[in-house]
Structure 1
């Protein structure tokens, strides 16, 4: 098998969007740059746990997250039940949360904005010491 084509990867700048020309518009972008993708907030819900990665600072400020109480723990493993909805923002750490009845875990880490639903029972498996702001409702 031979090569169909080669690209000189050193000439590609991943920090700039790719521009293309169309008949009606002089130039349009085909997509965001890699830097923009890394900076974007992404939200998912997995096994009942809502996670927003890289929330904008404006959201954290609007919610007053940096004024919420803080909690931390060293690497450990322990069961937990949420008597109220917890909203938190991880400043440091890495955790895998296993909701009861599931063999699958949900990984959360520094920079994640997370909501755990009231009534959820789970096991926290902390692999990197956690420091977080939290609020119960």
Structure 2
């Protein structure tokens, strides 16, 4: 079951059938080492699947974070400006659309 907060949609531990249907394993990969904190703006809609990692995403203007971690399938809306606070190295598949 997916949840949504600040326009960010998170599905915890989606079934392999969902990942296969979306073609997640063929998406490009991105890895960030070491853990860090940085601003980011999504210029397109981005779907990603975290293979490893733990991140708190703080949308601009909010003190509240959206937490994502390994096993999460996440969709970030186009135009979202935020700060990524990476506490555990991230390894993810990602896909840009729109």
Same fold (TM over 0.5): yes
Report the counterpart of residue 72 of structure 1 in structure 2: 31
Q: Which of the numbers 102, 121, 128 marks the counterpart of 2:88?
A: 128
Q: Does 1:102 align with 2:62?
A: yes
**Any idea what SS the aligned residue of 1:103 has?**
coil
Q: Which has the higher contact order (CA 8 A, sep 6+)?
A: 2
- SS of the residue 1:132 aligns to: strand
> Aligned-residue CA RMSD in angstroms?
0.5
* Greater fraction of residues in strand: 2
Counterpart in the other structure of 1:58: 17
Q: Please list every run of 5 or more consecutive structure 1 residues that lacks an aligned counterpart in the other structure.
A: 1-41
1:47 corresponds to: 6
| Shift in Å, 1:126 | 0.1
Cα offset, 1:43, TM superposition: 1.1
What TM-score, normalized by structure 2, do the two folds share? Answer: 0.96
Matched, 1:92 2:56: no
Could you say which structure has the larger radius of gyration? 1
Aligned residue pair count = 96
List 4+ stretches of structure 1 deviating above 4 A: none
Q: For structure 2, which runs of at least 5 residues remain unmatched after alignment?
A: none
